[in-house]
Amino acid sequence: AVLANARLEEFRRKTEERLSMRAASQFPQGEIGERQRRRIAIIGAGPVGLWAAVLITEKYRYSDGLSGGGRWPDAPEIVIYEGRPQEKHCSRTDIRISLSPATCNLLNSRAKSKHF
């Protein structure tokens, strides 16, 4: 029984090592063995895509009170993909968006703007 228990513990230890190595290999490694930052792809640079990028960016910001702060080291890189070619951007001038005062206040407070 003692020998069987020792073999079982050895099997568990080796299995745990193998699984942890497999999990660690799925993350990209930097030159010095540190994990690289995650990349988040946002498809579409419309209002929702840009708003999502702002919210994610703010989640990883800090303020030190002196220089205005910065990003945390584990902050992901945000990449926004837009399907329209550059010459088609801002080509529609007939679109009007109506926002309630509550929505404007929310956007102004989160985007740090004066007039949204």
Query: pLDDT, tens digit, for every residue of 54-101?
Result: 888 888 887 766 666 778 878 888 888 877 776 766 666 666 667 788
Question: Quick one: pLDDT band at residue 32, thresholds 50, 70, 90?
Answer: very low
Percentage of the chain beyond pLDDT 70 is 68
Q: Enumerate residues 6+ apart whose C-beta is below 8 A from 61.
A: 69, 70, 71, 72, 75
Average pLDDT of the segment spanning 93-112: 74
pTM value is 0.47
Residue type, 58: E
Percentage of the chain beyond pLDDT 90 is 0
Above 60 in pLDDT, residue 29? no
Above 80 in pLDDT, residue 4? yes
Could you tell me which of 44, 53, 51, 59 has the C-alpha nearest to residue 89? Answer: 44
Q: What was the pLDDT predicted at 25?
A: 66
